Structure 1
Amino acid sequence: MTERLEQRYCIKFCQKLGDSQVETIRKIRSAFGDDTMGITQIKEWFNRFKNGRTSAESEPRSGRPVVIRDRRVTNREIAEEVDINTFAAHSDVTEDLAMKRVAAKFVPKLLTAEQKERRVEVSQDMLDSINSDPDFMNTIITVDESWVYGYDPETKMQSSQWKHSTLLDSN
């Protein structure tokens, strides 16, 4: 049983005993500590049970989740699409779908034809210098340097994607 489901059963139990939302939140926090679901979620589940809901399981949803079609979708967009709050959307994606948000990997840009040509010219000049002056290599100072061309204003969060937890282990 997942910890979120366990917490939902505890919320249902507290509601059945007649505890208030505040008492329920305090008890859930005391029992689960740092792994407690958000206050808004606790209140939502408390009200669901108060309004007659009997199951602590998440409702089955038809069709493929929105996340699969667009891995860059945000929790807010998911929440708006299925008409739930952002905390519930986050819980559904991370708990029920076992997905995590990961930043896109940095991929260096390929060199342009002009840049490649310039590197060949510099290398050829170096070889010519070495052939004409045997002490030339003693005058070279080397450094470790990376060149990145272009500008992409996309933030790390904007470039992040949802990945299923089984796919994270293989990458």
Structure 2
Amino acid sequence: MADLREQRACIKFCFKLGKTAAETHEILKQDFGDNSLGQAQAYDWYKSLKNGRISADENVAKVRDLILQDRRRSIQDLCNTLGLSYGKCQRILSEELNMRMIAAKFVPRLLQNEQKQHRLEVCRELQQQLQEDPNFLSKVVTGDESWVHGYDPESKQQSLQWNSPSSPSSTSQEQH
């Protein structure tokens, strides 16, 4: 994959220097040997630059900007906004930006009956303690500050967002 990006950069460089497609392909063959692009593909990339098509680097920058504005954007939304194919957006996110979808918030699975029963028992005990001692809640120790979000996802799918290895963890993002 790195070779393809390097060759694309070489084609763009040669194009800006005013080299022809044939000269550019010869340079690629010299530099990359057996790993160089075929003549047809090199000519296609050269032609797309000549026709003013946006370079891959510009597409990557546009995708990055949109994702940083809203990490919960879907690939389909990116496609519709940028006019790129689904596969191209997916490749840019995964290979170029090294991003993947992760759940931004932990959403527990459905509780089993015994887990539901245990929660009900704990709630009843707390309710009973409150009835016996009206000052019960004043004895509860809490941490410093915490933020409560008004959005509780109904499913894990709704909380998915794009993250890269350098992104802060989702727990630190929720506490701002």
**Structure with the larger helix share:** 2
Please indicate, yes or no, whether the TM-score normalized by the shorter chain is above 0.5.
Answer: no
TM-score, normalising length: structure 1: 0.43
Question: Normalization by structure 2: what TM-score?
Answer: 0.42
